[in-house]
Chains A and B, each alone.
Chain A
Amino acid sequence: MSTHTISVRMENRPGALARVSQLFSRRGYNIQSLAVGPTESADISRLTLRVDCSEHSLEQIEKQMHKLVNVLRVTELRPDEAVERELALITVSVPPDRRAELVALSQVAGAQVADIGRDAITFEFVGRPDQLEAFEEVVRPYGVRELVRTGRVGLRRPSAAGRDAQPSVN
């Protein structure tokens, strides 16, 4: 078992997402994260999903995905060949007297303040998933009240296009 990032270009149609995710659930694999949204073309969406599964299963699932009528292209995004980003909103508990310290810390880490409340601040963080995790560790001692991550989105690096291109089977 290892974690894989799959990028799927698909028609923007009802049920398309369910058909893709069902290929994982029927095998008992839990999707760690899934982000889906529009692309450069209005009738096409792109789905990026992270899943823990065996190499053999993944190959099977990719082949099954290619057979889905709404799926246009399936690519595995390998970490060294992909730009991957994730957005997180994190609400951190903080008493008024420690606000300044926390804001300064977050600025160093590259987070933005999205909202300030009486005893909490919501930060927004956009970055690589590992940077996000690092930021989460930094603020954790203050008390993370709520956290939401979009799940990673990714595109293949244009600079990786020349080497060992990994186009879809279709």
Chain B
Amino acid sequence: MLGSDAVLRSLEAEGVDVAFGIPGGAILPTYDAIARGTSVRHVLARHEQGAGHMAEGYARASGKVGVAIATSGPGATNLVTPIADAWMDSTPLVAITGQVKSSLIGTDAFQEIDATGITMPIVKHSWLVQDVEELPGVMKAAFHVARTGRQGPVLVDIAKDVQEAEFDFVYPDDVDLPGWKPPHKVHPRQLREAARAIAVAQRPIVYAGGGVLNADACAELLELVDSAQLPAVVTLMGKGALPDSHPLNYGHPGMHGSKYANFALNKADLVIAVGSRFDDRVTGKVSAFAPGAKVIHFDIDAAEVGKIRHAEIPVVGPLKLALAHLATEVRTAAADGAPDRSPWLRQLEDWRAQFPFRYQKADGVLKPQTAVEALRDLAATREEDVIWTTGVGQHQMWAMQYIQCDKPRSFITSGGLGTMGYGLPAAIGAKAARPDATVICIDGDGCFQMTCQELATAALERLPIVTVILNNGWLGMVRQWQEMFYDERFAQTHLTQVAPDYAKLAEAYGCAGFTVESEDQLEDALAAAVNAGRSAVVDVRCDAEEKCFPMIPAGAAAIDIIEAPGGEVVPA
């Protein structure tokens, strides 16, 4: 068998049904193998960054490992951003790149770049394959490393002559990685200690993150929250891990989270961190974060425990296992009687009632939040699942605030790296993973213009997605910082609302295009887009000056969160 065919047979053996990529010189033999036949569907992207984000969207929507394929040199460097994104958000991703022939490696050959070197700080591991006999073992190991322990990206860089070499292909049953030992169990003593702390806490709060989704531990989290009646906050990356509609879900903490979620974390006497990592966008000033709380930190990654905030009770291990056991342990520990938590729960309810997300409507301008609320209401009427993706910026934060996610893997966003342009390709990947679902990308006009060429992929690969651009004509979040912290010096953030004409652009790519200029056009346009039967773009021209609130200024204490400025406010 040829090395190139071995790549495809390996992907098939790993259960890969879709891969995203673009061919080029050094990966040509592998694409030739695709032409020879495979059960893997290849989605042809228009830019390798798009392919990488598609693979990420696919992974986040399905829970499976995403696969992106690119050629050497610029193909590999274009994959760097998605690899970094997957690294920051722990998304399982196998990136496969072609490399120049072994004999040319190190000579600055055409399209040669040190792909393993460039990506070294942003992968769990990487391999440069220069011997075809190693290829099956490397492929096996790549998938194993990507999906076990804390999930994340790996890179397999395959020299062109390896793809062209003939050998006897045998896919190994096991991996030989003596140094790769992710924790597979949880220390019972730590669990008991955690349960005891929970049993006596008067103001506990669960602080759940994306790790819960990665660990497929949502049912276990729900069981814990329900059985122990623990209130919870859920991070941006964790959105959907606990239903947004659950009465004990107090929403999203952080820079643009709710005041009540931030208060809940900061006034707690016990923070139960579950698959979350005390990101600076959540904690604000660390020394002022949850000052009166003891911390229990559940994580698969020992390196996250104690990294930002000391954990009095560290529990390292798989969350699914840990949470399942914890629920039982808490019941045992609480048998002697738990403290009366009704004042705490009442307090949380009061805060929730007192500080809802809110914004000021005004005549003649369409507020971006109104568009997101309309989308939320539209989704509620759909029988099929709706999966949301976003870019990065104000629209992302409004999506977090107003969109209701009751199912895991229904909110896909770039959290850690904050990659503008993530939403559209991620939506295509999500659609490939979940053809039964309606996939809606809530985007900004700045983000949209970074990856909108992938509309061609969506249209031609028949992966229909809806992109709703909250078009304010600005790099809105940057503009907001300039207004608030740079004395309104709006340097290089104005994009204009009217050029390009996004509806026409959509049509040029074979998608349906809609333009919404006022609130009364909103509902019909969104419904038409969702029902278009093909990819659609809705250009929602909204208030250019709207700012995203509440807001914790960078480096400020979370408790000093700034609310939307005064005047007449309407509760969301």
Q: How large is the interface on B (under 10, 10 to 19, 20 to 34, 35 or more residues)?
A: 20 to 34
Cβ contacts under 8 Å, A63 to chain B: 302-303
Q: Give bound CA distance, A81 to B286, whole Å.
A: 36
CB contact between B177 and one of A10, A18, A66, A69 (< 8 Å): that residue: A69
Q: How large is the interface on A (under 10, 10 to 19, 20 to 34, 35 or more residues)?
A: 20 to 34
Q: A22-B121, A70-B125 are in contact. List 16 more A-B contacts (CB 8 A).
A: A10-B179, A11-B178, A15-B126, A60-B303, A63-B302, A64-B303, A67-B124, A67-B150, A68-B125, A69-B141, A69-B145, A69-B177, A69-B180, A71-B179, A169-B302, A170-B181
CB under 8 Å from chain A, chain B span 208-260: none
Look across to chain A and name the residue whose beta carbon is closest to the beta carbon of B305.
A63
Shortest distance from the beta carbon of B120 to any chain A beta carbon, whole Å: 6
CB under 8 Å from chain A, chain B span 113-140: 116-117, 120-121, 124-126, 128
Q: Contact at A66–B121, with CB atoms within 8 Å?
A: no
Cβ contacts under 8 Å, A109 to chain B: none
Q: Contact at B145–A67, with CB atoms within 8 Å?
A: no
User: Can you name 14 A-B pairs with beta carbons within 8 Å?
Assistant: A10-B179, A11-B178, A15-B116, A15-B120, A22-B121, A63-B303, A64-B303, A67-B124, A67-B150, A69-B177, A70-B125, A70-B179, A72-B178, A72-B179
As a 0/1 sequence over residues 262 to 291 of chain B, the CB contacts with chain A under 8 angstroms (1 = contact) are 000000000000000000000000000000
Cβ contacts under 8 Å, B301 to chain A: 67
CB under 8 Å from chain A, chain B span 56-82: none
Cβ contacts under 8 Å, B153 to chain A: none
Q: Is B306 an interface residue (CB 8 A)?
A: yes
Q: Contact at A11–B179, with CB atoms within 8 Å?
A: yes
Q: Is A118 an interface residue (CB 8 A)?
A: no
Q: Contact at B121–A26, with CB atoms within 8 Å?
A: yes
Q: Is A19 an interface residue (CB 8 A)?
A: yes
Shortest distance from the beta carbon of B511 to any chain A beta carbon, whole Å: 41
Q: Is A14 an interface residue (CB 8 A)?
A: yes
CB under 8 Å from chain B, chain A span 4-55: 10-11, 14-15, 18-19, 22, 26
Shortest distance from the beta carbon of A160 to any chain B beta carbon, whole Å: 25
Q: Is A59 an interface residue (CB 8 A)?
A: yes
> What 10 pairs between A and B have smallest CB-CB spacing?
A63-B303, A69-B125, A72-B179, A69-B180, A71-B179, A64-B303, A63-B302, A70-B179, A69-B179, A170-B181
Shortest distance from the beta carbon of A124 to any chain B beta carbon, whole Å: 35
| Number of inter-chain CB pairs below 8 Å | 43
Cβ contacts under 8 Å, A18 to chain B: 117, 120
Q: Give bound CA distance, A68 to B303, whole Å.
A: 12
Given contacts A19-B120, A26-B121, A69-B145, contact A60 B179 (CB under 8 A): no
Shortest distance from the beta carbon of A66 to any chain B beta carbon, whole Å: 7
Look across to chain A and name the residue whose beta carbon is closest to the beta carbon of B303.
A63
Shortest distance from the beta carbon of B182 to any chain A beta carbon, whole Å: 8
Q: Give bound CA distance, A49 to B128, whole Å.
A: 26
Shortest distance from the beta carbon of A108 to any chain B beta carbon, whole Å: 46
Q: Contact at B303–A67, with CB atoms within 8 Å?
A: yes
Look across to chain B and name the residue whose beta carbon is closest to the beta carbon of A61.
B303
Shortest distance from the beta carbon of B129 to any chain A beta carbon, whole Å: 11
Q: Is B393 an interface residue (CB 8 A)?
A: no
CB under 8 Å from chain A, chain B span 128-171: 128, 141, 145, 149-150
Q: Give bound CA distance, A72 to B303, whole Å.
A: 16
As a 0/1 sequence over residues 89 to 119 of chain B, the CB contacts with chain A under 8 angstroms (1 = contact) are 0000000000000000000000000001100
Cβ contacts under 8 Å, B302 to chain A: 63, 66, 169
As a 0/1 sequence over residues 69 to 98 of chain A, the CB contacts with chain B under 8 angstroms (1 = contact) are 111100000000000000000000000000
Q: Give bound CA distance, A68 to B179, whole Å.
A: 7
Shortest distance from the beta carbon of B280 to any chain A beta carbon, whole Å: 16
Q: Give bound CA distance, A33 to B124, whole Å.
A: 26
Cβ contacts under 8 Å, B141 to chain A: 69
Shortest distance from the beta carbon of B548 to any chain A beta carbon, whole Å: 31
Q: Give bound CA distance, A69 to B144, whole Å.
A: 11
Shortest distance from the beta carbon of A96 to any chain B beta carbon, whole Å: 48
Look across to chain A and name the residue whose beta carbon is closest to the beta carbon of B145.
A69
Cβ contacts under 8 Å, A68 to chain B: 125, 179
Q: Contact at A22–B120, with CB atoms within 8 Å?
A: yes
Q: Give bound CA distance, A130 to B23, whole Å.
A: 58
Shortest distance from the beta carbon of B260 to any chain A beta carbon, whole Å: 32
Look across to chain A and name the residue whose beta carbon is closest to the beta carbon of B126.
A15
Shortest distance from the beta carbon of B403 to any chain A beta carbon, whole Å: 34
Shortest distance from the beta carbon of B250 to any chain A beta carbon, whole Å: 30
Cβ contacts under 8 Å, B306 to chain A: 59
As a 0/1 sequence over residues 99 to 132 of chain A, the CB contacts with chain B under 8 angstroms (1 = contact) are 0000000000000000000000000000000000
Shortest distance from the beta carbon of B399 to any chain A beta carbon, whole Å: 32
